[in-house]
Chain A
Amino acid sequence: MTNELITVALPKGRMLEDSLRLFTVIGANGLENLRESRRLIWEDTTSGLRFLLLRGVDVPTYVEHGAADMGIAGKDVLIEQGKDVYEPLDLGFGFCRLVVAEPIELQGNDDPRAWSYVRIATKYPNITERHFSRKGIQVEVVKLYGSIELAPMAGLSERIVDLVSSGKTLAENGLVEVEEIMKATARLIVNRASLKTKYRRIKGLIDRLAEEVRALRS
């Protein structure tokens, strides 16, 4: 059973480059096919790995149900979705922060400690609700799927909760950060049944990836 395929779900977008590099370093071949063509699946028989290219928010779903044995997902997505998967490794890349932001003009006379009710547009309704309810603040969440920064300008909500990496997008849309909710990096996630039933191969892969991550860090 050593040559059975292990299926790995990779997220499109900002974490893809690092993900491809990491798996290339540990011996996967031909991953440029996923970057350069419109391919969504790549099978590398030499390394016994099969890669699926998915939207980042779908990776935990594939892994939880065992449609993929393992995958790479942002910690933000994992906390938001609360899926039942193992997270054995912080991969270190894809760093970003989840923050509360508001228009500059609102900030002048605003004190976050005095909030009692806020209306927030976000892709992260669960994290947002948990964050504010922990502080005893009532929150009305407007769930959006993209272009969150537009919401205050268009009058949909006063504030937003969104990921920032450099803060440039916020500034371009006249927004400023008021609070950080969490920091997030890319995580390796593994299906529970796969870890048990294919543990030799999975454990080998986790160990190899951990070595690389450690080498990259130092």
Chain B
Amino acid sequence: MVSRSPEVQTAIPKGVRVLLPEETAKRRYIMAKTLSVFRRWGFQEVVTPTFEYLDVLSVGAGEDQQEKIFKFVDRQTGQLLALRSDLTPQVARMVATSLRHRPLPLRLAYAATVFRYQEPQAGRQREFFQIGVELIGLEQPEADAEMIAMAVESLKELGLGYFQIDVGQVEFFRGLMDAVELGPEVRRKVISAVRRKDASELELLFQAVPGDDRLKECLIALPGLYGGKEVLAKAEGMAFNQRAREALANLRQVYEILAFYGLSDYLIIDLGETYGFEYHSGVVFEAFTKALGYPLSGGGRYDDLIGRFGYPCPATGFAFDLERLLWALEAERVLPAYKGADFLIIDFNPDKRQALRLARLLREKGYSVARDIIKRDLPGSLAYARDASIGRAIVLGTAGCKKDELILKDLLSDREEIHSIEGFSQKVSSGELRWPT
């Protein structure tokens, strides 16, 4: 047994959060908007388990990702279990098993919490929420373009004014690395330096390595290979082998499709970007805004991952980080103001039937209606309604109106109207009286 201190236990562990109504409403709003974009593009929502066998979750995870997985032991089998740290391997497994016999392509969406054991900091908790999609069974550049176009549309739909999609192709860098012979230690250092865009260190590293000088120069120049469309032309002279040439041609195709969609202003290209997961295998992309120091989303092609579950099948996908979307939207002040219930019914009559009828009628019409059940005076009830951001109050059985009348009070403007209960009900039923929800 855990020993208990006599104090009340209210502590919250590092890296998780409780969300109050106001904060929850904002997140629901973002989630609903994003999922509705996904639906409009034909994606169907799926749910994956919160925990799994570690072996499943570690498929395709690099060493640094593996370290961040929350692990625990299955009491029955002694096997290692893990909290999901990434949805993509789970969806990949789902595709390779239960969905295997459905015709391709599959368009799947999810909204779920993800857990990573990392130092909690601004912009990254240990439990966080991802909203994402996986497009399965297509190897065409149109599929990559579809992902990027959906990311753009989602961000526009959410009202974000300024953002950029950073597009890379991981095979380009891998191609260049094939062309140069490096020991494992130097190789690791080169990858780390490219990731940090550390051209100075690359220069030092390649001084000590034999090989084609032109190739080495290209690898040193790689961190600077970002910008607009001109990067594609610049990279042309650096595509040393088949693998790099194919990667570049593929990226160009994706770029051209997106330009055709009219989205080229949103794009920047970065061929030196090696971020993403170990399982990525083609075009990768992240969304950035100026208000936030880290990406809002990440994703890209992973043609070999589903195959590791026994069903070779190309795929691409991406996910937004809900918390970061929220930050970006708050920085641009484009989130709608928080609203509590639409109505609070305050009833001073001993017989509550009229109040219940009104509540039912309004709810049937789609309004949210709360009843003030506590006995208190009218100013007390109104103060409560304002505090809970409720839009309007309906007051029955008070001195201000007759027995068969009600007072409708708009809590924002303080305007009051007196209606007969009968007439009010009819007008609500017929839709003559309507309010924005």
Which residues of A are at the interface with B, using a C-beta cutoff of 8 A? 63-67, 84-90, 187, 190-200, 203, 206
- Tell me the nearest residue of chain A to B165, going by C-beta: A196
Complex CA gap A203/B224 in Å reads: 8
| B164 pairs with A88, CB closer than 8 A | no
Q: Which of A90, A193, A199 contacts B200 (CB 8 A)?
A: A90
- Tell me the nearest residue of chain A to B270, going by C-beta: A196
- Tell me the nearest residue of chain B to A65, going by C-beta: B293
Q: State the Cβ distance, A62 to closest chain B Cβ, in Å.
A: 9
Q: Which 10 pairs, one residue from A and one from B, show the smallest C-beta to C-beta distance?
A: A66-B293, A90-B200, A86-B197, A193-B288, A65-B293, A87-B198, A196-B288, A87-B196, A196-B166, A88-B197
Chain B hits for A64, CB < 8 A: 293
| B196 pairs with A86, CB closer than 8 A | yes
Q: State the Cβ distance, A79 to closest chain B Cβ, in Å.
A: 11
Within 8 Å of chain A (Cβ to Cβ): is B362?
Answer: no
Within 8 Å of chain A (Cβ to Cβ): is B215?
Answer: no
| B199 pairs with A193, CB closer than 8 A | no
Q: Which of A67, A89, A192, A198 contacts B290 (CB 8 A)?
A: A198
| A192 pairs with B200, CB closer than 8 A | no
Complex CA gap A88/B197 in Å reads: 5
Which residues of B are at the interface with A, using a C-beta cutoff of 8 A? 122-123, 162-164, 166, 196-201, 223-224, 226-227, 268, 270, 286, 288-295
Q: State the Cβ distance, B284 to closest chain A Cβ, in Å.
A: 13
**7 intermolecular pairs with C-beta atoms under 8 Å apart:** A66-B294, A87-B197, A89-B199, A192-B295, A193-B288, A193-B289, A196-B166
Q: Which of B196, B201, B268 contacts A199 (CB 8 A)?
A: B268
Given contacts A87-B196, A197-B289, A203-B224, 9 further A-B contacts (CB under 8 A): A64-B293, A88-B198, A88-B223, A88-B224, A90-B198, A192-B288, A200-B227, A203-B226, A206-B224
Chain B hits for A190, CB < 8 A: 197
Q: State the Cβ distance, A164 to closest chain B Cβ, in Å.
A: 22
Q: Which of B196, B197, B292 contacts A193 (CB 8 A)?
A: B292
Complex CA gap A94/B281 in Å reads: 40
- Tell me the nearest residue of chain B to A191, going by C-beta: B293
Q: Which of A87, A196, A203 has the most CB of B within 10 A?
A: A196
Chain A hits for B164, CB < 8 A: 196-197
Q: State the Cβ distance, A1 to closest chain B Cβ, in Å.
A: 9
Complex CA gap A49/B89 in Å reads: 44
- Tell me the nearest residue of chain A to B199, going by C-beta: A88
- Tell me the nearest residue of chain B to A213, going by C-beta: B200
Q: Which of A89, A193, A203, A206 contacts B293 (CB 8 A)?
A: A193
Chain A hits for B162, CB < 8 A: 197
| A194 pairs with B293, CB closer than 8 A | yes
Complex CA gap A23/B176 in Å reads: 35
Complex CA gap A106/B217 in Å reads: 48
- Tell me the nearest residue of chain B to A84, going by C-beta: B294
Chain A hits for B122, CB < 8 A: 65
Q: State the Cβ distance, A204 to closest chain B Cβ, in Å.
A: 11
Chain A hits for B200, CB < 8 A: 87-90, 187
Chain A hits for B268, CB < 8 A: 196, 199
Q: State the Cβ distance, A14 to closest chain B Cβ, in Å.
A: 20
Given A88-B197, A88-B199: A193 touches B226 (CB 8 Å cut-off): no
- Tell me the nearest residue of chain B to A67, going by C-beta: B293
| A66 pairs with B292, CB closer than 8 A | yes
Complex CA gap A65/B201 in Å reads: 24
Complex CA gap A195/B286 in Å reads: 13
